[in-house]
A and B are shown apart, each in its own frame.
Chain A
Amino acid sequence: AQSVTQLGSHVSVSEGALVLLRCNYSSSVPPYLFWYVQYPNQGLQLLLKYTSAATLVKGINGFEAEFKKSETSFHLTKPSAHMSDAAEYFCAVSSLPGGGADGLTFGKGTHLIIQP
């Protein structure tokens, strides 16, 4: 069984400040990990994914995440927040690289608020 815990249902940062969204996972097999973003009234967009190639993963819009097996974590960061980053962010885990056949297991999400 797999599960994801996202710490903090709401995170507020000032524009230009560091963004840190936390994700811890549980998996009985080597995990594949994903971060998705959801803007209001839109579907999910893939930000980045870890598929065992490199532990530091770079994604779109300046986001990156580091896979730490010893801490079972996959935290999402961005050096400088922009107003357009305000959205809901979901961490997900799968037993397959694309997250396809078995479905993705999502966390409950973190709502990112950017203060001007």
Chain B
Amino acid sequence: DAGVTQSPTHLIKTRGQQVTLRCSPKSGHDTVSWYQQALGQGPQFIFQYYEEEERQRGNFPDRFSGHQFPNYSSELNVNALLLGDSALYLCASSPTASGYAEQYFGPGTRLTVT
């Protein structure tokens, strides 16, 4: 059983550009959450998607947006990249949006903004 997968593993972008990161949840999971982990910091909650809609959002600007597809996979889009957006972006999935099920994390996408 494949766990949570993310692509690409590494990405280098220039300030002002836009980026799209992808996540496929664990089989049987319908909820996807995204986290940003800056170097030397703990992960920070960006937002959660369930039934193709954003359910909850952390303290992140509108430059961060997402999408969930009918097969439950998800994308994270970041517009107008800043140097401070350089981080490891983690995707986590769970089988329900109720909050009672454990989240499973993917290996992350390392984004470097130059």
Which residues of A are at the interface with B, using a C-beta cutoff of 8 A? 4, 9, 36, 41-46, 49, 90, 92, 94-109
Contacts and interface: CB of A to CB of B under 8 A. Distances in A.
A106 B42 contact: yes
The secondary-structure label for the interface of chain B is loop
7 contacts: A4-B42, A100-B31, A100-B101, A100-B102, A103-B33, A107-B42, A109-B40
Interface string B60-99: 0000000000000000000000000000001010101111
Nearest to A36: B105
Interface residues of B, number: 29
Contacts, number: 82
A22 B44 CA distance: 20
B55 A101 contact: yes
Given A99-B99, A101-B98, A104-B45, A43 B56 contact: no
A98 B99 contact: yes
Given A43-B105, A103-B48, 5 more contacts: A44-B92, A45-B105, A96-B98, A100-B94, A103-B58
Contacts of A105: 45
Interface in B1-59: 4, 31, 33, 35, 40-45, 48, 55-56, 58
A104 B103 contact: yes
Interface of B: 4, 31, 33, 35, 40-45, 48, 55-56, 58, 90, 92, 94, 96-103, 105-108
A96 B31 CA distance: 15
B42 A108 contact: yes
Contacts of B107: 41-43
8 nearest CB pairs, A to B: A103-B45, A96-B99, A106-B42, A101-B99, A43-B105, A100-B99, A44-B105, A98-B101
A83 B66 CA distance: 39
B31 to A, nearest CB: 7
A39 B32 CA distance: 22
A104 B107 CA distance: 17
B90 A100 contact: no
A105 B96 CA distance: 19
